[in-house]
Structure 1
Amino acid sequence: MRLLARTVRGIEHLVAAEVAGIGRVDRIRHREVWFTAPPTPAVLDLRTADDVFLIGAVCRGIGRTRADLARVTRAAARLPDLAAVRARCGGPPAPPCDSPPATAGPVTEVVASFVGRRNFSRYDLEDAAGAALPGYVSRRRSRVPAAASSWRLTVAGDEAVLALRVGGRPLHRRPYRTRSVPGSLHPPLAAALARLAGVTPAMTVVDPCCGAGTLLLESPGCRFGLDESRAAVACARANGLAAAAVADAGRLPVASASLDRVLVNPPWDRQATSLGSLAAEPARLWHSVRRILRPDGLVAAVLAEPDLPRCLRIRTTVRIRVAGRPVHLVLAEPA
């Protein structure tokens, strides 16, 4: 079974490392990891992937002109029936062969994206594929209702790929995420940071700026979150992080040299502003983190710039893009 996992730009290698636990990685390209795996629900357990799809067709020879859209339509017309395989992977069940179709018929959507300059839009791509799909509803002028079949169409270089979403909704929409706060981290990105830090169930992990609790909820181990904002702590608890408490990140109420890992998405003073002692002196966070880490401990952080004080030594920096902006995942150790 051929699948692809969609990713945040820059963490493809981290997604590939997780995928290798359930199948064979075949290819990595822009925001995608292609792999082969048995058709089981394990494909929906991937934490670092934004979404997972069954590959239906690969079409080559896609250029920059609108005339190339005809190739996409022909590829869509030859798509195999993936409903049964999708159900074996934990997706919505395939309808019985003898069941009558719904009165309104199935709803099919296509979500397209491409890399580079083209003389057509993403909606042109979607409509080109949709022209050959039953129940297609265009996103060009209307909001698509809940779709029975959601296809992802990506074009990179001269290659177009049509793939069917496995789950009933995008994988990054976590069931636990009932509430959020400004600056809340994207769940697969939080899972990728935990993987970068090598967090295991035997470790003790803290997030001193826990916000909605996403970083810890995507991590194994003994977890507890702290935040200066009472509203953020209430949000984290509502999302299922029971061990969350109000505390100043610059004066952490944690014993020195007691923690295996610190995971943190500190306030950048954009969506979320610094509170407590960090409002006057942001660097207090890092000195506080350095104090509570074991000598062999690590801190993993999401930063606008890969810059830390001398009390911490950077091991690894991963440059990614979030909402079109460059961001860095930074792994550091006590200096």
Structure 2
Amino acid sequence: MARQRRDEDRLPPLFALVHPGLESVAADEITRDLGGMVRKTDRGVVIFRVPVLDESVLLLRTVEDVFLFAWGTDALTYRAVDLKSIQEWTESEVDWREMVRLHHMVHRKPKGRGTYRLVTQMIGEHVYRRMDAGKAMAKGLGGKLPPGWVPASENAGFEVWLNIRGSTAFCGVRLSERTMRHRAYKTEHMPASLRPSLAAAMVRLAGATPGQIVLDPMCGAGTLLAEQIELAKLRREGRITTWGGDLEPNALRAAVTNLQKVGPTPLAQWDATRLPLPSAAVDRVISNPPFGKQLSTPEEIGPLYQKMIRESNRVLKPGGKAVYLVSEPELLRSAIEPYGWYPERMLKVRILGQPAMIGVWQKPFA
């Protein structure tokens, strides 16, 4: 079987799990913000190296989780023989003492008795069960972890994950924690609230620069605005002004609570199709408008897009950009066409179990 091995003379590779469709955005963040080198991308996975292994890997915002790479394969057979291979690779292909040492470079060594947790995720039709794959990994790990460590069902200090997707599998030591994907600031949620990593990707795609104004006219729980503020803080390049609003009072209350943890943002209750803003007032519009099934009837989505784009075109400066996450991209294109916006980038993702599109558009300069 074709396996990806780590170089013993260097730091091992890392891999990140990302929302499928956002691999290129995550790769850009790893390269630009960490100084890393991306080795390979696959659906939902980015494999990379970093020059220095420390807490900076936990600052990534467009990924869901980050791991030390233990072993990987792209040639699973879907048959029971895979279980023997999983056990053998886990047992013989990894220096687990070194993995523990590297993990302690990011997380402090526990003062008391160490705890560990084994996690297995599996997608695809295999003759064996996820539980069987997990048992095979556990057998391979037998006697490899420090003596005295005890298993824990949650909040373990050391986690080993096995991720199987069809013929591909990755095994690694988890470096990230729950706050990487869930964010400490997001304590208030709304139905169908945007995932923070997805919002972070949209913010990066918008590419706002210091001194510019970013608007989310349908801000919901404020996730897009929070990610814009947090990105500006990380880059330390200068202040970016954020404005937001929503028609729903409950959404605004959630946004106020979430945003007070990251920074000041003017919020208003308004109709995104009739914004109380002057023309050509903002440099970027970033928005996750309602999906068709979130409205009372799916037929409402087309007219909503038309009114939303007409108003966004009015408040957006010439040369400004807009980033939208929508479930009906053709309807969005039809709404944008009269204004001559240029499509810069389109990324296919899945939201709420259905296909969706992140579109990046630029308004003409004249």
Shift of 1:168: 3.3
Alignment pair present for 1:6 and 2:6: no
Please, which moves more after superposition, 162-171 or 292-301? 162-171
The aligned counterpart of 1:297 is 320
Closer, same or farther: CA 269–62 of 1 in aligned 2, 3 Å: closer
Alignment of 1:1-335 (within 5 A): 1=11, 2-21=13-32, 22=34, 23-37=36-50, 38-59=52-73, 61-78=75-92, 79=94, 80-81=96-97, 82-89=99-106, 91=107, 93-95=108-110, 101=113, 106-114=115-123, 116-133=124-141, 135=150, 144-156=153-165, 158-169=167-178, 171-219=180-228, 220=232, 221-240=240-259, 242=264, 243-271=266-294, 281-306=304-329, 307-308=332-333, 309=335, 310-311=338-339, 313=341, 314-334=343-363
Structure 1 position 281, deviation (Å): 4.6
Whole-angstrom distance in 1 between the partners of 2:74 and 2:27: 24
- Larger fraction in helix: 2
* Post-superposition offset of 1:324: 3.7
Q: Sort the Cα spacing of 1:60 and 1:183 in 2 relative to 1 into closer, same or farther, 3 A.
A: closer
Query: TM-score, normalising length from structure 2?
Result: 0.80
Query: Which residue in 1 is equivalent to 2:3?
Result: none
Contact conserved, 1:48 with 1:189, CA < 8 A, in 2?
Answer: yes
Matched positions, count: 318
Residue type at the aligned position of 1:161: F
CA deviation profile, 1:167-218 (whole Å, cap 9, x unmatched): 2326211010111111211101011111111123332101000000001111
Deviation at 1:322, TM superposition (A): 3.1
SS in 1 for 2:359: strand
Cα distance in 1 between the residues matched to 2:324 and 2:65: 23
Paired residues of 1:110 and 1:129 also in contact (CA < 8 A): no
Specify the SS of the correspondent of 1:302.
strand
Give 1:326 deviation, angstroms.
1.0
- Contact preservation (8 Å) 2:289, 2:325: yes
Does 68-77 or 33-42 show the bigger shift? 68-77
Distance 1:273 1:334, change over 3 A: farther
Indicate the larger mover: 320-329 or 74-83: 74-83
Change (3 A) 1:14 1:281: closer
Q: Distance in 1 between matches of 2:226 and 2:295?
A: 20
Provide the residue aligned with 2:8 in structure 1.
none
Q: Could you report, residue by residue, the CA deviation over 1:81-126 in whole angstroms, capped at 9, with x for unpaired residues?
A: 323322323x3x1236xx6x36xxx241213224x43212323222
Q: Partner amino acid for 2:30?
A: V
Which whole-Å CA distance do the structure 2 matches of 1:173 and 1:72 have between them?
30
Q: How far apart, in 2, do the equivalents of 1:299 and 1:195 lie?
A: 12
Task: Give structure 1 regions of 4+ aligned residues with deviation exceeding 6 angstroms.
Answer: 277-280
Partners of 1:250 and 1:181 in 2: CA distance = 21
Give the secondary-structure state (helix, strand or coil) at the position aligned to 1:283: helix
**Structure 1 alignment gaps of length 5 or more:** 138-143
Closer/same/farther in 2, CA of residues 171 and 66 from structure 1, 3 Å limit: same
Q: TM-score, normalised by structure 1?
A: 0.86
